[in-house]
Amino acid sequence: MELSDSQLVRDPAEGAPLLISAAEACDAIEQLFGLRGELTLMGGDRDCNFRLRLDRGTSWMIKFVHPSEHETSTLTQCLVLHELQRVDPTLRLPQPYQPLTGTHFAVWERPGELGLPPVRVRCYSFLTGTPVANVSPGALTRAALGTALATLDAALNACVVPVAEFRDDVLWDVRRLPELGCRWDGYDLDSAAARQLDHVFDHALPAAAKLPQQVIHNDMNPQNILVAEDNPTRVTGIIDFGDLVRASRAQDLATLAAYHVTTQEHPLAGPAQIIRSYHDRTPLLDGEVRVLFDLMLARLVLIVRMSEWMSRRYPGNSRYFLRNNAAARAALTALAEINCSQAADYFRSHLEG
């Protein structure tokens, strides 16, 4: 089953990733924030992102938000980051830089471009470190990641942000798999994988909906977690809060764990190391442990399905979209002969060890 534009695109004007030249960005940043320096284009799905280096050595991240992002989503990200700073100032997260006009973000009218919607622009601190994607994480690094997520989830649970601010149309939300038609049709994996996905839809997603719900990051992929270049066991930052949702914290943990399926030992060894350290910081309910494996599968399917769809739609940015695709496919193959009960027993044995 192919994903159609009507299933994924809210607005026909959503279009391709936002493109802004360095010259345009430089002028806009000075106009909106009073900052000027050296710009470096950064990666992104649809937003246009720049690193701004000032003469005095300070760096800021500048995000030109894609017009398809609802203003509520932009505001929610700002409010949550502000709340996290209040709840736990020790968290290493992007800190906002206030625009010359406005509170949380600026609005830029593109000069000379009639008919185009205004663009929201955010400025926040550029965190140092290297993405986990650039290192080969071992047991100690994975333990540090689990602890970092448990600490973040505890702080997110304490944030005071109106529930109404959270939208239910975030594409990278595993709960949307059934409505997006992401069944296993067309994939070159065996029938065991197909049965697993049916179990995800029929049992795991309904079970997860009955677990305690809170605000979660929802995108703890290896590009969004930074570690020290000279010590990958020290987490130096968590970035990209663009997929915030209210869901089970098990969904957050499963998302992180899904990227650490191992193929050279037991495939669940890496996830178990993360889950153990999370549990040591914030004890998990047994119901959460029971759904972790299925939610991991759901995330891996979402990675494959969405990345391939986005790559076909916007081939110019396919390298970015497909960066996690091969690893996700390999992980799904490695997990094909494991069922949720076996996985839960495996995780419990590590929690009790």
63 and 208: one domain?
A: no
pLDDT digit string, tens, across residues 331-345: 998 998 899 999 999
Question: Cα–Cα distance between 16 and 74 in angstroms, integer?
Answer: 19
80 and 229: one domain?
A: no
Residue 250 confidence (pLDDT) above 60:
yes
165 and 270: one domain?
A: yes
Structural contact between residues 146 and 274, judged by C-beta atoms closer than 8 angstroms: yes
90 and 61: one domain?
A: yes
Question: Cα–Cα distance between 346 and 350 in angstroms, integer?
Answer: 7
pLDDT score recorded for residue 181: 61
Structural contact between residues 111 and 74, judged by C-beta atoms closer than 8 angstroms: no
Residue 6 confidence (pLDDT) above 90:
no
250 and 344: one domain?
A: yes
pLDDT digit string, tens, across residues 133-146: 999 999 999 999 99
**Tokens read off for 215:** 């605000």
The domain total for the chain is 2
Question: Cα–Cα distance between 52 and 155 in angstroms, integer?
Answer: 29
pLDDT score recorded for residue 3: 41
pLDDT range class, residue 5, cuts 50, 70, 90? very low
Mean pLDDT of 184-192: 49
Last residue of a domain, one of 125, 152, 173: 125
106 and 156: one domain?
A: no
Phi/psi for 110 (5° steps) reads -70, 120
Mean pLDDT of 84-105: 94
53 and 110: one domain?
A: yes
**Tokens read off for 323:** 């960066």
pLDDT digit string, tens, across residues 271-309: 999 999 999 999 999 999 999 999 999 999 889 888 888
pLDDT score recorded for residue 14: 54
pLDDT range class, residue 70, cuts 50, 70, 90? confident
User: How far apart, in Å, are the Cα atoms of 203 and each of 36, 157, 297, 304, 326?
Assistant: 53, 25, 13, 21, 27
The winner for highest mean pLDDT among 42-51, 108-117, 183-192 is: 42-51
Last residue of a domain, one of 110, 125, 140: 125
3-state helix, strand, coil in the chain (%, to 5): 50, 15, 40
Tell me the DSSP string of 44-74: -SSSEEEEEE-TTS-EEEEEE--TTS-HHHH
Whole-model pTM: value is 0.90
184 and 143: one domain?
A: yes
CATH code: domain of residue 102: 3.30.200.20
pLDDT digit string, tens, across residues 191-241: 555 667 778 888 899 999 999 999 999 999 999 999 999 999 999 999 999
314 and 180: one domain?
A: yes
pLDDT digit string, tens, across residues 306-334: 888 888 888 888 888 899 999 998 999 89
210 and 335: one domain?
A: yes
CATH code: domain of residue 315: 3.90.1200.10
pLDDT range class, residue 10, cuts 50, 70, 90? very low
For the CA atoms of the chain, what is the radius of gyration? 20
Range of the domain at 168: 130-352
Cβ contacts of residue 180 below 8 Å, gap of 6+? 3, 7, 8, 305
Distance of CA 303 to the CA centre of its chain: 11
Question: Cα–Cα distance between 293 and 291 in angstroms, integer?
Answer: 6
89 and 61: one domain?
A: yes
User: Strand 213-216 vs strand 245-248: parallel, antiparallel, or unpaired?
Assistant: antiparallel
157 and 253: one domain?
A: yes
pLDDT digit string, tens, across residues 130-181: 999 999 999 999 999 999 999 999 999 999 887 666 777 788 999 988 877 6
Cβ contacts of residue 234 below 8 Å, gap of 6+? 144, 227, 228
pLDDT range class, residue 187, cuts 50, 70, 90? very low
Angle, alpha carbons 219-221-227 (nearest 5°) = 120
**Tokens read off for 181:** 């038609």
Last residue of a domain, one of 125, 151, 177: 125
pLDDT score recorded for residue 174: 93
Residue 4 confidence (pLDDT) above 70:
no
3-state secondary structure of 107: strand
pLDDT range class, residue 353, cuts 50, 70, 90? low
